[in-house]
Structures are given as structure tokens and as C-alpha cells.
Structure 1
Amino acid sequence: MSSTDLLLGMTFGTSGNPFLAPYDEVISVNTRGGVLLRDGKIAEVGEADDLRARHPDARVTDYGGHLICPGFIDAHVHYPQTAIIASWGKQLIDWLNTYTFPEEMRLSDPEFARQTAEGYLDLSLGHGTTTVASYCTIHPHSVDAFFEAALARGLRAVAGKTCMDRNAPPDLQDTAQSAYDDSKALIEKWHGRGRLGYAITPRFSPTSTPEQLSALGALWAEHPDCLMQTHLSEQPAEVDWVKGLFPQARDYLDTYEAHGLLGARGVYGHAIHLETRETDRIAGAGAALVHCPTSNTFIGSGMMDVAGLAARGIPLGMATDTGGGSSFSMLRTMAATYEIAQLRGTALHPAQLLWLATAGSARSLHLDDHIGRIAPGLEADLTVLDLASTPAIAQRHARAEGIWEAVFPTLMMGDDRAIADVWTGGMRRSER
């Protein structure tokens, strides 16, 4: 007989995109709601007292004034960079050469890759993140290590072998053919297994020859249900570098588009310094962009126009960008998103921030039929927030007038101490 869990508390509800409709029409918080879980899925959502009366045999967990949210979804990470997070003082190209590439070479050891993957996922879960989309290294076993760790934890996850055949250390280069062959074998091994999905992963245009980009474009055409993840227009110096490497390209996006790497299942990280044509093509293709705010400030990249891109209907995700990003916490990422938007003249509402970290990221990864909302039939990935987790937050929470004023301090000042509980696939993972 399957077990049934009934979670009671404040529940976060989503019926639409709060960037395209008034937030109070599409986002709600039920201050005494309930979520019924059965067989790894959300079975029912409703009023706490009604669900309790109709399911007297359910195992009840009453979270009181805690907020039950969809599990956080981190749409762009580099799990191999876990150990180099918060390394001092470099911008993008120097960061890659000084920190990233030496660390990724360490993952040539399968045991080190396994330890790194397991450590990363445990850190991520401890911060309330239940799904990630990760870049691995050029080593196929780095993908195996990540997916094996995710599978063991019952997680929904996306990942791919990072492909590079130039402008990287020789020990981190593959070829156009081996990138195609390795990625194809990994798709056949992992894509669709359990809750796992594969993303074809050229790191970015400067580290792939046109021949490799074309090979990966051909692979994507053969496996159109896979995602394709890469980087786009992160820093001005990078954009200039791309112009020199691809003199025939109309712009940075064209270096992907010309090789079959632009499409609705494309996921492009950063996208800060876009030209008008690029924004128009991304919107027309239905491709997704991912905002990485702590990385963008920490490495000095710039400020993504979240509100403007969202108004175009472009799918937007949110991400920590470990380890260029300076935190594993999606709460800290929401705070940085708010701060950057303020500098651009827009005060994002807390409902919009939570949406980006859940339903928005799910949509960007084409997982919104599975996760990202608390709705019947979706997978039971949930993060429970203590809205008074520290003395500083608690004293502000005590003065709150209305639910959003009660939630906002946790989004601005919260960290892993605010994570009261985590459920993945209907299984309780973390209890504080």
C-alpha cells in the first residue's frame, strides 16, 4: 500500500507568469493550506482542514507558519567548480584560466568527480534546491558521476559533458568527433533515465571550433528532445573575443545559430550584453535565458535586463552559476536578482522572485509539466521556508503587515538556516 503524506502550512500557488500579468492575479499564498503527496506526486492541494478531514489516515506534517514552496530549481551551475566558489578577484577569461580549468582537470580522476558530485548535490539540497542543470567537464565519467549521485538521491536533474576543442588546456580539449561521439553515448545512457535529462553542452563559442559547433548542432537535430545549454554575452571582453574568432558572424548569437544551436530547447546563460537582433531571434525561437546575478556581480559582468526580457515573453530561469556565483543559495540569488533590478530601475515583487526560482526556471528547462508548481499531478519536490529563521529576519517578520511583507525579508536575508524541510519525489530529505 502506498503511503500518503499531508503537509500543512502556508502554500505558494502559481497559475501564470507574474511578469506578464499582475502578480496578485496569478500568484497566491494560502495561509492555512495543505498539500497531499502520494506515490511521489502531488495528489491534492487545498485547505488544510478540508484535506485533513477527507484523508484521516494520511501522515500529517504541520509546518504552522512556514511557507511550503515548489522546490527551488537552479537552471545553470558548474558542479565541478564547487571547491573554487568565492575565489578572489578575476573576471571571466582570467577566472577560467586561473581557477576553472585547473579545477576541471582534477575531475580526470573518476573518484574525485564522484566526491565532487555528491558533495555538490548535498550542499544544494541543504539550501532547498531540488533540481539543477549542470555543466560537467570534458570527461564522460564526470557526467556519469553527476547522474549517479542524482539518481541515488531521487532527484530530477539535467547535465551534459562540456565540449571544448580550442582555447583551453590540452588536457581539457576533445575534438569535434569525440564531442559528438561522447555526447551521443551519454544521451543513450542517461537521457530519460529516472528523472534525468541530457543537455548537449558546448561551453561557449570561444572554446569550440566551427566544426565542433556544427557537430553538436547535428547531434541536437538527431536528439531534439534534449536541451542544449551554453553561455552567451556574459562580458564585453568576451563579446569582442567572439567577434575576432567569428568575423563572418552577425553577432554572438549567430555563432550558435549558424551551426544549428538555436532553438526552443536552447538554454543560454547570462545574456547580459545582447544586441537587438539577438533579443528578437531568441524571442522568435522560443529559447530560454538564465539569469546568474551573484556571478554577474562577483565576476563583474554586468546587469541582465530581467524585466525587459521577461516583458518580451522570453522564458527566464534563475541560477547560482556555481562556482562563478558566490553562493549555493537560491535565496541569496533572489536577493541579488532584486538588487540588480533595482539598479536598472525596477523593483521586482517577491512573488516574481519566487516564481523565477521555481516555475520560471522549470519553464526555461522545459520541465514545467513535471516540477516548479504545487499542483496535482506534478512531482512532489517541495522546499519549506522558515520565515523567521534568524533573529534579524524574525524581528522584521514580527512587524510585517500582509503576507508578502512577511515573506520578503527571508528572500533578502535568508540562507540555508531558512530551509525548514525539503521533499524530493515525495520523500522527506531534510528536517531542521
Structure 2
Amino acid sequence: MQETSINKRSVMVLPIILLSYFLILLDNSIIFTGTVKIAQDLALNQAQLSWVSNAYSLTFGGLLLLGGRSGDLFGRRKMYNIGLVIFAISSLFVGLAGSPVAIIMARAFQGIGSAILAPTTLAILMDNFEGEERTKAVAAYGATAGIGSSVGLIIGGVLASQFSWRDGFFINVPISIIMFILAMLFIEEKDTIEGKIDIFGSITSVIGMIALVYSIVGESNNIIALVIAIVFIGLFIRQEAKTSSPIMPLSLFANKERLGAYIARFTFLGAMLALWFLTPQMMQNYLGYSPLTSGLAFFPLSITIFLSSLQVSRLTKKFGNGKLMVIGLTIVALGMFGLSLFNENSNYWIGIAIPMMIIGIGQGFSLSPLTASGIAHTTADEAGAASGVVNMVHQIGGSIGLSVVIAFSSAVTNPVSSFRLQMLIATIFIVISLLAAIFFVLPQSKKK
């Protein structure tokens, strides 16, 4: 009877979860392919344009731990709906923005909504699925992480070229209203855990994370920001070790499989965000592609992610989660290295499309195992916190990784040489992910 009820709920619960997560990823991707148009419409300089993305990343990454734990304490459906409302209102503000300050502030506000939605959706998934059903649901969630970002580049290119980049944000409003109604109808509110929000831990984590990202992406006072980050992250860890209601239980890191998955996901997203953010700019600025063409150029990546993701459940049964992760990351590393070989004599199909297809296959195999290992062996009381950590390393890893790639390649003025160096650095990130999977995740996976 329990399995039957789970299957009935899954008919609507899983689509709600996946569409919500897709919306979050979609908007970030629209920013990537729409950067040139946004800069033209709002007269943004390069620094202001980077903060359209960074403002979102800062609030999203900085508040994820708090957002994840809030679902444990106050109810996942309640927090999901609050996140939807914030996301819808902020999306409207982004679409209406008429100045650099307006769009940057709206994007920061949007990050708050995403910080609540992202971990809550994963925790709701864990509440509603067990056993093999959970494996399939996590596979779909991981596939959405890859497909959503790459398809978002295509949709963003279509909107920027044929309509307006603003439409990509306006459409969030009616969709969010529909999702709100569906959540009230189909998502059951689970029992909350006893406890209270760790105020000191929340404040120190937000300041520490924001300062850490700013120390890399900021244009001034970077050393001061880094010192602040170290101090506040240290205070945060100390607080989490002694409080009875941590927003990030340190026990989550005691398990080597989860620890390895967090490290691997951090560097993996650093590489992938560099790919998603920098490749459209290279194609528009060097190859002369329009936003539409540069978005459509990601189709080989999207289709191979989709096709390989369909095989994850079957391959997980055959190889195990850890081994499939290692296989996937190895394939991604090969594809990313292939992109780093792009030169002035390369055409799109050989220099970009084929490496993207290889990356897509590996990414489809990697993201679901990374998600599954990130929430492995957690109790119901830890579900929201673990989901928050998974999404935190996803978002912060992407933001910091992209910043590192840009920082190390900024002195190279030739666009092709710069892109080659950027993709080579991204390849190194993937290799680090692979090593984390081999030495932390794989041994634990073999013990099961």
C-alpha cells in the first residue's frame, strides 16, 4: 500500500519539483546568452554586467543553508510556496528593470527566492520517494540540473534574438502561480522537526559566503573581503559545532561519500559554469554568432545530456553510483580538454560541437550520482540541511570557479587563446572532481 501511495503522489509531485528547479536554472542561462542584449539595453559596462550574475549568485549561495534548514523547521511546502512568491515577484522586477542598479538589486532578490526553492525541492523529493523510486527521481533531478542549464541557453538565445530577454523573466510569473496552486493540491506537508533557526550561524554563514565570493569577483578591497570571509566562516563552523540546532550539521561531512560528492560537485560546477558563461560570449564576440545562434549551438550538449540521463537508473544498477560517477567525470574531462584545443582554424562542428557532445554524455552520467551521494545516508531530520549543502556547493562552486577561470585568463587578450586557457583551467577542475570521486566516493560505494 505504501508503494502505491508513493507512486500516486509521484505522478504530480515529481513534475512540480523538476519544473521548479528548471525555472531556477533557466533564468541563469538566459542571463548568459542574453548578456550582450542586456548590456546594450541597460547601458551596462563589463563590471556591472558581471554583477547581474554575481548578485544572484551571492544571495543564492549565501542563503542556501538557511533556506534548506528552514524547510526542516517550518515545513517544506510552506517554504516552497514562500520561495515561489519571492521568485515570481523578483522575476517581474528583473523584467521591468530600466537601470543597472534596478536589475542588479532584482537579481539579488531573485537569488533569495532560489535559495529557498532549490534545497526545498530536493528535500520534498526525498520525502516522497524511497528505494528504487528515489533513485529514478534523483536521476531525473540530476538530469534537470544539466538539461535545464543548457536548454536555458537555447531558450535565452531565442528570446534575446526574436523577442526580448525580458520575456524570459516575465513568463516566470504565471508559471509560478500555477506551481503554487499545484503545490497546495498535491504536495503533502510533512511533520517538522523541533528546533529553532540558528540566528548566529545564519548571519555568520551569509556574511562568510558573500565575502568569500566577493573576494574573488569584487573590483576592490578583495584582501579585506577574504579576511572577513575566513573570520566569519570560522565563526560559523565553530557555532555549528556547538549549537543544538545547526543549519549545517557538521555530521554531514563526516561521511566520506558525502564529503567527496561535495568536493566533486564544487569543482564540477566551477568548470561547467565557465563553459555555459564564456562559450556564448566567445561565439558572439569572435565567431559573430547572434544570441539565437549561440544558444542553438548548445543543442549538441543538451541532447546528449538528455539521452545519457535516460540511462542513469539502468547504469546505476549495473555499475553502482560511485563507479558511474567516475565514468561520467572521466568523459567530461575528455570533452572539456577537447574544447581547450579550439583554435583559429577550427570550425564549429569539430572545435565545439563534438567536444560538447562528449561533455554532455559525461554530464548526464555525473550529475545524478553526485546528487545521490550528496544526500546519501541522511536521516529525515537532515534532509533539508543536506539538500542545502548540495545546492550550496553547486552554486558557490560555480560562482567561485567561474571567477577563478576569468581571473587567470584576464591577461590574455586574444579571444581564441583566452578561450583555450579558460577551457584548460575548466579541465583541471574536472580532474579534481574525478580525484575526489575516486578517493572518497568510490571506496564507500564499493562497501554497499
Q: Same fold (TM over 0.5)?
A: no
Q: Which has the higher contact order (CA 8 A, sep 6+)?
A: 2
TM-score (norm 1): 0.28
TM-score by length of 2: 0.27
Q: Which has the higher strand share?
A: 1
Richer in helix (by share): 2
